[in-house]
Amino acid sequence: MEIEAKSHPLDRYLRAERIPHIWCPGCGLGTVLNCFLHALEETNINLKNLAVVSGIGCTGRVAGYINVDSYHTTHGRAIPFATGLKLANPKLKVVVFSGDGDLFAIGGNHFIHAARRNIDMTVICVNNYNYGMTGGQLGPTTPLEARTTTAPYGNIEHPFNLCHVAAASGAVYVARWTSLHVRRLKESMKEALNKKGFSFVEIIAPCPTAFGRRNKEPTGLETLKYYKEHSVIKHGIDPAEADIEMGGDIIVGKFVDIEKPTFDEAVHELIKKARK
């Protein structure tokens, strides 16, 4: 069957020739990308100066669909790559778009140090509780007791609370939403994009193919229903109080929004002094 493709108001942000994307039905990534493109449109960022950097995994493929300078790097290394990119060209607005495994397991060390330095970049992390692309293995965010291909008896590892890690490491902006909260998510993305310094947005998103069907949520719709019933908005709370548990509430909202000098400003100030 031939399907006639109609143009979309956000087409100019996409590499249309690369669509359809690789993501599964029911996956949250399309929604998150849509929110991001709307955020771009509403913030009027000069696309010429926007660079998107991804690591490896399903979320890692975001870079390949956005029609800007985009870099699909190695597993876990999106943040240090983005650090070099931003420091070499301070004009750039640099966004790192990657998954929970990429950013917090293999790339965890880079995440905490970029946050500590307060490198001027926005990190968007889609957290689907598992390694989706490789078939649904345990990740650093898999809730206790959840079943994955490498935790067939249920997960016995304590997961990271990503917003707590980000805040404790020094991020100046920290927010969490689910992929159901499209308007609030878009607003947070706009705030993060406009924020000077290391800003972090976590999105809890369904992965029916690799995670949901092993955990009694075989479709994306069921997971979205769960978000609807269990999300609790608590702006400004200590992110330490926002742990995620299997079957528990998901606390969402904006947790951190502070001002702090960035590494970028400091390094260019230092250069000015050294050149005198």
Does 1 participate in binding other proteins (rule CB under 8 A)? no
Sole window of 78-86, 144-152, 214-222, 232-240 interacting with other proteins (rule: CB under 8 A): 78-86
Does 20 participate in binding other proteins (rule CB under 8 A)? no
Query: Between 80 and 206, whose beta carbon lies closer to other proteins?
Result: 80
Based on the number of CB atoms within 10 Å of its own CB, is 130 exposed (0-12), middle (13-18) or buried (19 or more)?
buried
Residue 233: Cβ within 10 Å count: 14
Residues 218, 208 contacting (CB under 8 angstroms) = yes
Query: Between 21 and 213, whose beta carbon lies closer to other proteins?
Result: 21
Q: How far is the CB of 22 from other proteins (least distance, A)?
A: 9
Does 274 participate in binding other proteins (rule CB under 8 A)? yes
Q: How far is the CB of 190 from other proteins (least distance, A)?
A: 21
Residues 139, 127 contacting (CB under 8 angstroms) = no
Q: How far is the CB of 262 from other proteins (least distance, A)?
A: 13
Site residues (vs other proteins, CB under 8 A): 15, 18, 48-49, 51, 53, 63-64, 67-74, 76-77, 79-89, 91-92, 109-110, 113, 263, 267, 270-271, 273-275
